[in-house]
Amino acid sequence: MRSDLAPSAEAFGKVILLGEHSVVYGHPALAAGLPQGLRLEARRSPNSAEAISLSIPAWELELALTPGSEHPVAQAALAVLDVFDGPRTGWRIVGETHLPSRAGLGSSAALTVALARLVAPEAPVDAIIDASIVGERVFHGEPSGLDSAVAARGGVLRFVRGEAVQEIAMSAGFPLWILPSGMPRSTAVEVAKVRARHDRLPRLMTPVLDALGVAVDLGVDALISNDLMLLGEVMKVSHELVSGLGVGAPKLDQLVSQALAHGSAGAKLTGAGGGGCVIALPPTDPSGLRQACAELGVVPLEVEVVR
């Protein structure tokens, strides 16, 4: 058993540009790493027999990683430590992040990736991703692995379950606004909703999932040729399609229509839906959208998607 942890480790947040949910069914997805991810620091605790503690004040998370704990974060964290035969006692881990939790921005994947890196700093990125997926299963049942890949690698990635990821060689970066709805949601619940609708209406849902996959490849073309108008149009269609899977919400539709009404070339829900966030390509003059967000009590996260 290992007894050491690295002093610190980091992971990216993630934003899915296109292809959430359809990625679970083997279609491609397009996602970007967010530099405002998670940083964990590990210090030896004075009592070497004490269970490892994990504290992430931004997520109001403070818990002991006690074997047998019913807390999903403790279960996931211990599952990740176990992959590398990591320590069970004698450490205090503290996390710092600007990512909101349970908002579709990859907080759980960032946590499991950063934990894997704390315990196995020498491990290759694919081993870190595999360990993260072991933890993600505790939270999300059967994750596609997309979130873990982006949390570990960053960049802009085309991801297909079970295949090597493709880094997208964008000709230029672009600005993106993330609009949090303030409604927390569970990825596992939203994935199960889609599964139930798919199983009830397979002939109707299969073409919707296929179309979401086509949208990803059009989005990749748009990024390679820096055609943000095309990307925006594909985002608009994807919002309608993914809402048709059963994971839309009135607040998400409201944020999308406000973004479009104020000149955004495209906006859509991102992540599992049901709540969480909307992404929007900001208009050249974003003052109207900024004002509309303020009136709705929404504070946009303004990021730059870079290679």
> How far apart are CB 226 and ligand MEV at their closest, in Å?
26
- Residue among 222, 231, 189, 224 nearest 21 (CA): 189
> How far apart are CB 185 and ligand MEV at their closest, in Å?
10
Given a contact cutoff of 8 angstroms between Cβ atoms, the answer to whether 106 and 35 are in contact is: no
> How far apart are CB 41 and ligand MEV at their closest, in Å?
26
DSSP state of 26: T
The interface region with ligand MEV, picked from 45-53, 124-132, 142-150, 213-221 by CB under 6 A, is: 142-150
Q: Would residue 147 show up in a list of annotated catalytic residues for this protein?
A: yes
CA pair distance 294, 268, nearest whole angstrom: 19
- Residue among 306, 226, 291, 228 nearest 259 (CA): 291
36 SS3 class:
strand
Residue 21 sits in the site that holds ligand MEV (CB under 6 A): yes
Given a contact cutoff of 8 angstroms between Cβ atoms, the answer to whether 52 and 92 are in contact is: yes
Residue 191 sits in the site that holds ligand MEV (CB under 6 A): yes
DSSP state of 172: S
Given a contact cutoff of 8 angstroms between Cβ atoms, the answer to whether 173 and 307 are in contact is: yes
Q: Which of residues 143-162 bind ligand MEV (CB under 6 A)?
A: 143-144, 146-147
Binding residue (CB under 6 A) for ligand MEV from 15, 24, 99, 305: 24
Residue 204, token pair as written in the block: 């109707």
Residue 289 sits in the site that holds ligand MEV (CB under 6 A): no
> How far apart are CB 8 and ligand MEV at their closest, in Å?
25
Residue 295: which residues within 8 A CB-CB, separation 6 or more?
A: none
Catalytic pick from 126, 147, 217, 227? 147
Q: Which of residues 47-106 bind ligand MEV (CB under 6 A)?
A: 104
Dihedral angle over CA of 186, 156, 232, 225, nearest 10: -170
**Binding track over 118-137 against ligand MEV, x by CB under 6 A:** --------------------
* Diameter of the chain measured on Cα atoms: 60
> How far apart are CB 50 and ligand MEV at their closest, in Å?
34
Residue 27 sits in the site that holds ligand MEV (CB under 6 A): no
The interface region with ligand MEV, picked from 2-10, 43-51, 140-148, 199-207 by CB under 6 A, is: 140-148
**Contacts to ligand MEV by CB under 6 A:** 16, 20-21, 23-24, 104, 140, 143-144, 146-147, 187, 191, 271-272
Catalytic residue list: 147
